[in-house]
Amino acid sequence: MFRNTLLTMLLAALASSSFAEDAFTGVYRCAGDLSFTVRVEGEVAWVMWPADAVRLVRDPDGGDRYIAGEWSLRLGGERIELNGPEGRFEGCTNDPYQARWAAARLDGVDFRAVGPGSDPWTLELRTRRSATLVRGGERLRLPLSHPLIDDGGNTVYRMEAGDRRMTLIIRKQPCEIPRIGAGRQVALLVDDEHLTGCGLSLE
């Protein structure tokens, strides 16, 4: 098992690598309030806790089974089977909502914001790369500008490409993202339309 420093290095390595379209990320909750994250990229699977991680490789004879020493992991839809030196982790079910946030972090997203209500949206920032807004069936991706700090201490990004424009203001005021945690209020101006939501740094 790796210690906290090596786990940090793992997260950095995953985030800096190219996005793998076939990668799978799940956040599993088990009996006894235990939870962990699973990241699968091809022949390698990682099981991650807040301060530790285990690297497993695909069992040549096991299909969706991954092994490492006394550890074994078998994927099966929204449920998995995980065995380790301390026994079997049972009743573990994936939380798709939390898994999307975990996948964003592992894919190199530095800041993620969501909009509530009947017209939800998601915005993801990748430092020095891009800002991607997903809303309904539309995906708008713009080069990420250098941030500015306004007179109120808010962080401001102004981005444009072609005839599309987007201004993002990350305010100092706090907000809460259900089942994720405390974040900061955000305001978006997309062309001429105003949106509001809550965002969280994933660094």
Say what the pLDDT of residue 87 is. Answer: 85
* 5's tokens: 């420093």
Q: Could you tell me whether strands 24-29 and 35-41 are parallel, antiparallel, or unpaired per DSSP bridges?
A: antiparallel
Residue 165 pairs in a beta bridge with 160
Whole-angstrom Cα distance, residue 25 to residue 95? 10
Give 169-185 pLDDT, tens digit per residue. 999 999 999 989 999 99
Question: Can you tell me the mean pLDDT for 110-139?
Answer: 93
Residue-level pLDDT at 18 = 46
Q: What letter represents residue 52's amino acid?
A: D
pLDDT per position as a tens digit, 185-200 = 999 999 999 999 999 9
C-beta atoms surrounding 179 within 10 Å: 9
pLDDT tens per residue across span 29-67: 988 778 899 999 989 999 998 778 999 999 998 778 999
Q: How confident is the model at residue 166 (pLDDT cuts 50, 70, 90)?
A: very high
Query: Model confidence over 7-32: pLDDT tens digits?
Result: 444 555 454 444 556 799 999 998 87
Give percent of the chain with pLDDT exceeding 70: 90
pLDDT at 171: 98
Q: Pull the structure tokens for residue 51.
A: 């301060």
For the chain, give the percent of residues with pLDDT over 90. 67
CA-based diameter of the chain, in Å?
A: 62
Asked whether 136 and 119 are in contact (CB, 8 A), the reply is yes
